[in-house]
Structure 1
Amino acid sequence: MESNRPRLLLVEDDRALTDLLADLLTEEGYAVDVAGDGHTGLHHALSRDYQLMVVDRGLPVLDGLDLVSRLRARGVTCPVLLLTARGSVDDRVEGLDAGAEDYLVKPFEVAELLARLRALRRRHPEAAGWLSLGRRRLDVDNRRVLDGTEEIPLSAREFAVLHALAARPTKVFTRAELLNAAFEHADAPGTVDACVHHLRRKLGRDAVRTVHGLGYRIGPG
């Protein structure tokens, strides 16, 4: 099922290359979302959680470096691989300093791109399907919360809210943002409050913190 696949955002304005990479990445096991310009990519990246992003540097509307810089400034820590036709040392340094984790120069071999993404997943546990919750771990691919070897049972909605909060630990989510991030269909704002109540009962009162007047953020675990 797509929900069990690591989610990847591909931001590339070359439609032919986008179609090719989206197909190959899907075959590799990713759930792929695509954006054809930096502004759309920014909207996607701020609207849902991704385990990896592949971003072209030379994008219309908002270029790749600005996109990555804005995501880092907003607390989005998802690993980013930059694609670019500019391969000088200064260009690579500029891309890495903007917040990207890796840099691949066009033209490239698809096998190398896939290998670099696998390497990013190994280096970043959150990209490999695991998130840390203090002493606990969130198994994103299998939708489980583990305390050591013991699984803490959560409903699908509770897990969705917890995953959204844990994937962006510095962000304070409004109820509307959590609804958008955690549920694919329309739901009442009270659903979020109910999920938070049950998460605190199962994981402890500090598992989810209330930021008064703003919303919720993940606690220390």
Structure 2
Amino acid sequence: MLLVEDDARLALLLEQLLHAEGYDTVLARDGQRALHEGLTQEFDAIILDRGLPVLEGLDVLTRLRDRGVLAPALILSALSNPADRVEGLDRGAEDYLGKPFDIDELLARIRALLRRHRSTVPTLPLPQGALDTSSRTVTTRSGDTVDLSERECGLLERLARRPGQVFERDDLLGAVFPDADDPGVVDTYVHYLRKKLGRDCVKTVRGIGYQLGPLR
């Protein structure tokens, strides 16, 4: 879980509270760090303050959504009048809780947030359209449907869940092809994906590996 809070005392309290409930957390104390963590790691949920140094919380959330990050977000902010809550929800948050808050209510909202998110059909944005991981299909912007094999879908899903991250071949090999020994199998399946979806679906980062092509 990504926890974004600039107040040191409150951040420590929230970390301890979430750890006691069994949640692993990554703490970001400013908006730029939150954006970096959100783009390079995969989180089950984001707990996000608004009044952050460097980059305001809603701007962080907007940029994450624009880059295809789908982790559900709960805004936790002292800006809590109706207009503030409406703005937060319209900018991409799934829930909004004002400060000061009741701990039991916060935990209940987090549990509800995770339940709702896990019950939705996992659809991930792609440069060409959207990937439905449940049916292993890509729906293109023109409305066509492209079927993927299990390994093709696994590779594309890995890239699409962290659209800002560059993956080394060995990382992709271990995550998607655990029974294979040769990293060249990653190159082979990238070729298969490009043949089906176009070269822009996966970007080669020379000397490192691959990342999802740029979202439009």
TM-score (norm 1): 0.65
Q: For the residues of structure 1 that align with 2:133 and 2:198, how far apart are their CA atoms?
A: 13
1:85 to 74, 78, 98: 78
Q: For the residues of structure 2 that align with 1:135 and 1:15, how far apart are their CA atoms?
A: 44
Counterpart residue number, 2:129: none
The 5 A counterparts of 1:5-84 are 8-84=1-77
Q: For the residues of structure 2 that align with 1:61 and 1:121, how far apart are their CA atoms?
A: 28
Residue by residue over 1:31-74, the C-alpha shift from the partner in whole angstroms, topping out at 9 and shown as x without a partner, is: 21001000111111111111100010111111111111111111
Counterpart residue number, 1:194: 185
Indicate yes or no: 2:161 matched with 1:167.
yes
Deviation at 1:25, TM superposition (A): 1.0
| 1:211 counterpart letter in structure 2 | D
- For structure 2, the residue ranges without an aligned partner over 5 or more in a row are 125-131, 137-149, 173-181, 205-210
- Check conservation: 1:209, 1:217, Cα contact below 8 A: no
Report how many aligned residue pairs link the two structures: 176
Q: For the residues of structure 1 that align with 2:8 and 2:187, how far apart are their CA atoms?
A: 41
Q: For the residues of structure 2 that align with 1:27 and 1:41, how far apart are their CA atoms?
A: 23
- For structure 1, the residue ranges without an aligned partner over 5 or more in a row are 1-7, 137-151, 184-190
> How much identity, in percent, do the aligned residues show?
42
Distance 1:97 1:162, change over 3 A: same
After superposition, the CA RMSD in angstroms is 3.7
| 1:17 counterpart letter in structure 2 | L
TM-score (norm 2): 0.66
Counterpart residue number, 2:145: none
Residue by residue over 1:188-213, the C-alpha shift from the partner in whole angstroms, topping out at 9 and shown as x without a partner, is: xxx76534647999xxx96x975378
| Corresponding residue SS for 2:71 | coil
